[in-house]
């Protein structure tokens, strides 16, 4: 199925029976779960959430109270790993950068679930096209592209898009619960600091639609 962004770009979502999704409690992965649920029926979802200091599991719990999964079933799989411990990642062993930010989570999924799923989705987006005021070092999201190219089973439908597109999809599909309950800030478990990269990126995404900051 093809979904359209506000600037008429295509997002293709395939139908599968066993679907893995990295669900962080943020806006992007929550929008992606909605789109996946529109395309798939009688499918089973493996929803992976890495436990972090930003209360990711709690925010996912809040969002799942509102997600209508229809005929699809799902299981929540928390990944409780010390973020300071880096596990060798099989995909990146031939790279100069042998560590991924969520390396422990990736290794956990590849070791325990990769053979059980038809496809593994992530809601990763690209950075905004222009620098955000006050931010000098945006996150390097190119490493996720390396994973996608190496493993066709791994899909990132938003990787050529940015936060303005995922915000636009939430607005277009009237996902008010996603806008209200998704959590972006990496500095606070609840609320927004308005200073971290993720908060500033979210603010930029809403400004692109002539709106002020929404959600946390």
pLDDT in tens, 33-60: 999 999 999 999 999 998 887 888 889 9
Contact (Cβ atoms closer than 8 angstroms) between residue 56 and residue 111: no
pLDDT tier at 215 (50, 70, 90 boundaries)?
low
Q: What are phi and psi of 46, to 5 degrees?
A: -105, 110
pLDDT in tens, 82-140: 554 444 445 444 444 444 444 567 778 877 888 899 999 999 999 898 877 766 667 77
Q: What CATH number does the domain located at 2-182 have?
A: 3.40.50.620
Burial 16-35 (b: 16+ CB within 10 A, else e): beebbbbbbbbbbbbbbbbb
Measure Cα distances from 184 to 30, 108, 170, 189, 201 in Å. 11, 23, 15, 9, 9
Q: What angle do helix axes 163-172 and 27-39 make, rounded to 10 degrees?
A: 50
Please say whether the beta carbons of 60 and 24 come within 8 A.
yes
Q: Return d(Cα 46, Cα 199) in angstroms, integer.
A: 28
Buried (b) or exposed (e) across 161-195, using 16+ Cβ within 10 A? Answer: bbbbbbbbbbbeeebebbbebbbbbbebeeebeee
Q: Over pLDDT 70: what percentage of the chain? A: 83
Averaged pLDDT score across all residues of the chain: 84
Write down the domain spans for the chain.
2-182
């Amino acid at each position: 199925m093809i979904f359209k962004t506000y600037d008429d770009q295509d997002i293709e979502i395939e139908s599968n029976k066993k679907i893995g999704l990295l669900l962080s409690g943020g806006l992007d992965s929550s929008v992606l779960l909605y789109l996946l649920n529109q395309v798939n029926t009688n499918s089973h979802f493996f929803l992976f959430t890495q436990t972090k200091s930003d209360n990711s599991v709690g925010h996912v719990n809040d969002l799942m109270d509102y997600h209508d999964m229809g005929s699809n079933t799902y299981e929540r799989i928390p990944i409780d790993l010390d973020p300071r411990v880096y596990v060798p990642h099989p995909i990146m062993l031939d790279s100069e950068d042998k560590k991924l930010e969520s390396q422990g989570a990736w290794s956990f999924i590849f070791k325990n679930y990769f053979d059980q799923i038809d496809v593994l989705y992530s809601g990763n987006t690209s950075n905004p096209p222009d620098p955000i005021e006050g931010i000098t070092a945006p996150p390097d999201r190119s490493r996720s592209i390396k994973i996608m190219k190496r493993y066709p089973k791994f899909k990132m439908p938003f990787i050529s898009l940015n936060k303005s597109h995922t915000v636009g999809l939430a607005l277009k599909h009237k996902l008010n619960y996603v806008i209200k309950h998704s959590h972006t800030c990496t500095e606070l478990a609840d609320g927004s600091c308005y200073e971290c990269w993720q908060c500033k990126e979210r603010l930029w995404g809403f400004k692109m639609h002539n709106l002020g900051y929404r959600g946390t």
